[in-house]
Amino acid sequence: MKCEVKRAGIVGVGAYVPERVMTNFELQDIVDTSDEWIRSRSGIRERRVVARDEATSDMALKASRKALDDAGVSPEELDLIIIATNTPDMLFPASACLLQDGLGAKNAGAFDLLAGCTGFIYGMSVAAQFIAAGTARTVLVTGAETMTSILNWQDRNTCVLFGDGAGAVVMKPVPEDRGILSVVLGSDGSGGKFLKIPAGGSRLPASADTVAGALHSLQMNGREVYKFAVRAMEEGSSAVLRRAGLTVDDVDFMVPHQANIRIIEHAAKKLNLPMERVAVNVDRYGNTSTASVPLALEESLRAGKIKDGDNVIMVGFGAGLTWAGLLIKWYSE
Ligand code: UT7
């Protein structure tokens, strides 16, 4: 029996970052840190911060409209909307439903996906399955985060690292010799304790004590996450290449999760890629979690760094702990 699987690709990309820039120098007035420490340990110079009335679904809406325009797709054509986020507007309804309403995408199902900073790559892989199965033809995948809303501004270990933003892609079936070649998803829940927001869920509901203890803010063991990240980036890239029957020599461009320039440089070295063929925006946006990969992808496309037929590898890691790799043969009409 011949089973016809449709291969999914990206047909439109959009990005949005808030206007407000917060430099490392501004942070020096908030916590005991320095521009020198932040730049040398993470590569970050500045990040974007949402306006007072701006939340995750607002940024997702702006990025999504651009992605739809880029794809020449109307909101009504969307079958499915996925927002990968760790900072939804509220616990429920899903931010994806708020986005669906904002877009007027009246024919689309919508849900949020929670997989730490790896969420966007997870989201793309879910979209690819829907498209391959023929259950959906046109899917919007967004990575959107208001990380500054969950930071403890007294914790210098974390508050200097993150920023806000959103990126979106429209995915559809593409010609057989283009699109997603392989995907690998991984998780290690035993490391969940290294990166978390302890309260606000069913385990530790919100109370005066949880607020007083700053338990609604992000907590991280940076060293442990760093060790995991380095392994995850290596494993994520080698596993997707193995699955696709390709080697490091076949990779044209890498779009890694933007958490720390040292982690990105390590991953580039393992893939034998010069930094010109690696997307980097951590210096300007910090770690925007699920938004980092689509933001970096959009920037690289706009700069003409990715062309039709290129093998592009996306790799990421994050809370969960989770990691993922995705290899896509770029399609442009
Ligand atoms: O998307 C996933 C999210 N997370 C990550 O990807 C984070 C992965 N981890 C990292 O990127 C790095 O571990 C960090 C950037 C967080 C830290 O860099 P590091 O080189 O691993 O530094 P460290 O944790 O070993 O800390 C070195 C020192 C410590 O002081 P002591 O204990 O050696 O006296 C910290 O207290 O730097 C101190 N420190 C700071 N100093 C100035 C920590 N944060 C700051 C700060 N400014 N903001």
Q: Which of 154, 178, 202 is the last residue of a domain?
A: 178
User: Which are the contacts of 113, defined by CB distance < 8 A and separation ≥ 6?
Assistant: 82, 83, 84, 85, 119, 122, 123, 126
Give the pLDDT confidence score for residue 1 in this predicted structure.
46
pTM of the model: 0.96
Residue at which a domain ends, from 157, 178, 199 = 178
Do residues 91 and 170 both lie within one domain? Answer: yes
**Residue 23 is assigned to a structural domain of this protein:** yes
With a CB cutoff of 8 Å and minimum separation 6, the contacts of 94 are 83, 88, 110, 111, 112
Tell me: do 51 and 164 sit in the same domain.
Answer: yes
Indicate if 42 and 125 belong to the same structural domain: yes
| Max Cα-Cα span within the chain | 67
CA nearest 297: which of 285, 283, 312? Answer: 312
The answer to whether 287 is a known catalytic residue is yes
Give the pLDDT confidence score for residue 333 in this predicted structure: 79
Residues 262 and 129 in one domain: no
Atom of ligand 1 nearest to the CA of 160: 48
Listed residue (251, 77, 82) closest to 172, CA to CA:
77
Same domain, 94 and 155: yes
Are residues 81 and 184 located together in one domain of the fold?
no
Beta carbon of 159 within 6 Å of any ligand 1 atom: no
Q: Are residues 94 and 144 in the same domain?
A: yes
CA-to-CA distance for 180 and 289, rounded, in angstroms?
Answer: 22
Give the residue numbers spanning the domain of 31. Answer: 8-178
**Which residue from 36, 156, 188, 226 has its CB within 8 A of the most atoms of ligand 1, so it is best to mutate?**
226
- Rounded Cα distance, 168 and 108, in Å: 16
Q: Last residue of some domain: 178, 203, 221?
A: 178
Using CA atoms, how far apart are residues 244 and 175, in angstroms rounded to an integer?
Answer: 17
In this structure, are 127 and 40 located in the same domain? yes
256 and 131 in a common domain? no
pLDDT (tens, 9 = 90+) of the chain, 333 residues, equals 445 568 999 999 999 999 999 999 999 999 999 999 999 999 999 999 999 999 999 999 999 999 999 999 999 999 999 999 999 999 999 999 999 999 999 999 999 999 999 999 999 999 999 999 999 999 999 999 999 999 999 999 999 999 999 999 999 999 989 999 999 999 999 999 999 999 999 999 999 999 999 999 999 999 999 999 999 999 999 999 999 999 999 999 999 999 999 999 999 998 889 999 999 999 999 999 999 999 999 999 999 999 999 999 999 999 999 999 999 999 997
- Examine the domain organization and report whether 129 and 272 are in the same domain: no
Active-site position among 24, 260, 281, 287: 287
Decide: 79 and 297 in contact? Cβ < 8 Å. no
CATH number at residue 49: 3.40.47.10
User: Is the CB–ligand 1 distance for residue 149 below 6 Å?
Assistant: no
Counting the structural domains of the chain, the total is: 2
Residue 173 lies in a domain: yes
Residue 214 belongs to a domain? yes
Distance CA(170)–CA(139), nearest Å, equals 6
The answer to whether residues 138 and 56 belong to one domain is yes
Q: Clarify whether residues 154 and 228 are in a common domain.
A: no
